[in-house]
Structure 1
């Protein structure tokens, strides 16, 4: 009635290797397919009809479509990817410069106000001098 199942015998190591290999190839295929689709949309030199034709070709005959696309336009795919990465880096750098530039005066004003309050606490500034300097900083 009770039968022991020997899993190693039912699923040999070579079978596990082939399963892992096919899963890996399937994931690589999906990555390549999505990269090609993204590249079709990213290319601003292609007209809308050409993009539609490539997408139709990719979805109707995916293996042949990806192979033909990579052969015909593969070299430019790398150039477009590099250009896109450079544009993103430039936008990020501009954002950082803008953010750091706008934060600097506010921080400098706060630092000056802190120094003024320290000078007043030490007794080096009178209340009248402190108020004048504070008004000057805040305006």
Structure 2
């Protein structure tokens, strides 16, 4: 350990961390290239070749040129996954309109009524009447 001072250990750890961070970003960019449906096949091939032949420069240029689009595609993918998950839950729970048995239908109707009341579309009195109708 005498031959390797503490400052050299710090620099080695820093460079290793930056290399791992760059690898993570490279894989994120590659998945983003394939996820982008607006980019043509030639565009995808060009970005891939650029990121593979000039890896550090390619990653930096991609993040600068298409960084905002990356975040939009990430958000869209998360929303689509959430919607698919919610749809799956509705189908397996058997709520009406999803091909189920009707279990939980009154709970869904009450939730819709509460949402309408919260948005101000119906009054508290209308909510109570509709609630009594659903529960009976």
Q: TM-score, normalised by structure 1?
A: 0.65
Structure number with bigger Rg: 1
Higher helix share: 1
Question: What is the alpha-carbon root mean square deviation over aligned residues?
Answer: 2.1
Match of 1:44 among 28, 37, 42: 37
Unaligned runs of 5+ in 2: 104-136
1:88 aligns with 2:81: yes
Match of 1:27 among 12, 20, 39: 20
- Structure number with greater CO (CA < 8 Å, separation at least 6) is 1
Name the SS of the counterpart of 1:44 in structure 2: coil
Deviates more, 1:11-20 or 1:72-81: 11-20
Deviations 1:18-64 (A, max 9, x none): 11111110100001111111111010001111111111111111111
Match of 1:15 among 8, 21, 39: 8
Aligned length: 100
The runs of at least 4 consecutive aligned structure 1 residues that moved more than 3 Å come to none
Pairwise CA distance, 1:11: 2.1
User: In 1, Cα distance between the equivalents of 2:19 and 2:61?
Assistant: 19
1:70 aligns with 2:47: no
Q: TM-score, normalised by structure 2?
A: 0.67
Pairwise CA distance, 1:10: 2.1
